[in-house]
Amino acid sequence: MWCRGIRGAITVPENKKEAIGAATKELLQKMIKVNEVKISDIACILFTTTSDLNAAFPAAAARELGWTQVPLLCGHEMNVPGSLPSCLRVLVLFNTDKRNEEMVHVYLGGAVTLRDEGERIWQDDGKK
């Protein structure tokens, strides 16, 4: 088995605990489902938010999903002028036999603008 990473991002409509929690859960659940990840295979999850999102820890939403044995870490994204505001980013590291080329990265809402050409992407419209 290898440790592989899945990237994901979503824009959050407002800086409120409920909105950050809902966006976090939506993104995590989509990333796990699309990539057929077992929770027991997750090594860790890293969360970042833009500095305008500070009303809640995204990791708290993962705990609400029952992910109590997964190491979680939150931080702020670099404050680069002109970057996408109100954005939550996630990196899930997990153990798998899949190749890097098989990973499907998930971008939802306004975060679809962050995707790289040539990657396997899951967008709001359900396309890969």
Q: Looking at the domain that runs over 2-122, which CATH code has it been given?
A: 3.30.1330.40
pLDDT score for 47 = 98
Distance between CA atoms of residues 81 and 64, nearest Å? 33
In SS3 terms, 1-31 reads as CEEEEEEEEEECCCCCHHHHHHHHHHHHHHH
Give strand pairing partners of 88: 10, 49
pLDDT in tens, 72-124: 999 999 999 999 999 999 999 999 999 998 999 999 999 988 876 655 565 55
pLDDT of residue 124: 54
Nearest to 96, CA basis, from 18, 16, 39, 13: 39
Segments making up each domain of the chain, as ranges: 2-122
**The whole model's pTM is what?**
0.91
For residue 1, count other CB atoms closer than 10 A to its CB: 9
> pLDDT, tens digit, for every residue of 16-70?
999 999 999 999 999 999 999 999 999 999 999 999 999 999 999 999 999 999 9
For the purposes of burial, counting CB atoms within 10 Å of the CB of 83, is it exposed (0-12), middle (13-18) or buried (19 or more)? exposed
Helices (H), 79-119: none
Q: Is the pLDDT of residue 125 over 60?
A: no
